[in-house]
Structures are given as C-alpha cells and as structure tokens.
A and B are shown apart, each in its own frame.
Chain A
Amino acid sequence: GAGVSQSPSNKVTEKGKDVELRCDPISGHTALYWYRQSLGQGLEFLIYFQGNSAPDKSGLPSDRFSAERTGGSVSTLTIQRTQQEDSAVYLCASSFGTGSPLDSGNTIYFGEGSWLTVV
C-alpha cells in the first residue's frame, strides 16, 4: 500500500449524526491535508498538519468540523451534527518535508476520497 488510504470510501448518514473519516498517509510523510470537493464548489482546503506544529485550521467551515492527527501519522476528520450541505467528497493528501514546492520531493499525493452523503 504505497498510496494515501482513506476510509470509508462511501458513507451515507442521517442528518444530525456524527461521522468520522479516516486518512492513512504515505509512510514517512510529515505533512497531511484535508480538502473537500463539492459539486459546483471545486476543491476547498480544510486543514493542514505539518509535523509537530499546530495545525492550520483556517479552512474548517464551522465548529462542527474538527480533525486530529495521532502520532504524526493517521488522521481523523470528524463532522458533528451533519447537515445536508456537508455532502461532498472529502480528500486527504500527504507530502514529505516542510512543504515547499521548490523541493521536488514535496509533491502532494491525494487519496481517492471518502464520499459522504447526508440524507
């Protein structure tokens, strides 16, 4: 398994329920990102973890959204009290290093996404 792994691949949940989405980055990657892809909205940045630094949470749309990264590896994105507008594909990505694209090793690799449908 050399790529970014996300689970579940598909999730249907009822409005008001909490959901957890999991991301397993590529081994050794210190940076981890969450993005959301909605119909007609394109890709939105949600949150960014880099090593032991405080995460950049500037893209989280509301306080119902939170994310953790345990042990510098696996990350969980939690959405509380889901709403229909939360329906989207949630993409996780990872990369090496400090995050400068000048370093050819800092290519960001994306997972296949978790498709969330709130009914």
Chain B
Amino acid sequence: AQSVTQLGSHVSVSEGALVLLRCNYSSSVPPYLFWYVQYPNQGLQLLLKYTTGATLVKGINGFEAEFKKSETSFHLTKPSAHMSDAAEYFCAVSRRGGGNKLTFGTGTQLKVEL
C-alpha cells in the first residue's frame, strides 16, 4: 500500500522568500509523484509530476520538485514566493502500472505575507 506524508499542514512565508513544502512517500517501489495546487473555491490543478528520467522536475508558476529515492521524498520549492502562490498544495502518488489512481497527502496550506 502507498501513503503520502506532508509535513506541516500550514506554512507561512514572506513574499520573496523561499517556499519549501515537504512530501515523503511510502511505497514498495518508487511511484509516480505529483504536486497539485488548489486555489480557493477552485478544483485541483497539476503543478508538476515525476514519472521517469531527470529527478528535478520543473512545473508551472516557477515551482519545481526533486525526486530523491534515498530519502523517499519529493519536496516542492519555489525560489521567491508571490502573494498569488497562497493556496493549498497536495502531494500525490500513483502506482506504476496501476493507472492514474492517485493517493493524496493531507495538504499544506501556504500563506504568503507581505
């Protein structure tokens, strides 16, 4: 069985500061990995995904994430936070060969302060 742990249900950063949202997974084999963002009253939007190849993945809105097999992690970063980044972020995994069925973490609410 797969599981996803997101450390910190709430993260607060200053505008212009580094954003770091943590995600660790548990799986018998490395899964596919995803980050989704949910803005208030909107559906989930894919930020980026790791499937194979280069372990540093770049996504939309300046976000990137690095797959580290040895640490079973897929942390999301952005060098400089913007007010518009305030949202809830979900890390998710899906099993290789298991279709697109996603297992989500509990989410991290990002607050960006002036």
Which residues of A come within 8 Å of B, CB atoms?
3-4, 31, 33, 35, 40-45, 48, 50, 56, 91, 93, 95, 98-102, 106-113
B43 touching A102, Cβ below 8 Å: no
One of B49, B51, B94, B106 near A41 (C-beta < 8 A): B106
Which chain B residues border A45 with CB–CB below 8 Å? 101-103
A91 touching B44, Cβ below 8 Å: yes
B window 88-105: CB within 8 A of A: 90, 92, 94, 97, 99-105
A43 touching B90, Cβ below 8 Å: yes
Which chain B residues border A43 with CB–CB below 8 Å? 44, 90, 92, 102, 104, 107
* Total A-B contacts with CB atoms under 8 angstroms apart: 67
B70 within 8 A of A: no
Given contacts A4-B43, A91-B43, A101-B49, contact A56 B101 (CB under 8 A): yes
In the complex, residue of chain A having the shortest beta-carbon distance to the beta carbon of B32 = A101
Which chain B residues border A109 with CB–CB below 8 Å? 43
Q: Quick one: CB contact mask for B13-51 with A, threshold 8 Å, 1 for yes?
A: 000000000000000000010101000011111100101
B84 within 8 A of A: no
B61 within 8 A of A: no
Q: Give chain B's interface residue range (CB within 8 Å of chain A).
A: 20 to 34
B43 touching A112, Cβ below 8 Å: yes
Which chain A residues border B100 with CB–CB below 8 Å? 31, 33, 48, 95, 99-101, 106, 108
CB distance from B91 to the nearest CB of A (A): 10
A-B contact pairs, 16 of them (CB 8 A): A4-B43, A43-B104, A44-B104, A48-B99, A50-B99, A91-B43, A99-B100, A99-B101, A100-B99, A101-B34, A101-B49, A101-B51, A101-B100, A107-B49, A108-B46, A110-B43
B window 38-96: CB within 8 A of A: 41-46, 49, 51-52, 90, 92, 94
Q: For the complex, what is the distance from the CA of A40 to the CA of B109, rounded to whole Å? A: 12
CB distance from B71 to the nearest CB of A (A): 21
CB distance from B14 to the nearest CB of A (A): 27
Q: For the complex, what is the distance from the CA of A110 to the CA of B49, rounded to whole Å? A: 15
Q: For the complex, what is the distance from the CA of A100 to the CA of B106, rounded to whole Å? A: 24
Q: Which 7 A-B pairs have the closest CB atoms?
A: A99-B99, A42-B106, A110-B43, A43-B104, A110-B44, A99-B100, A101-B32
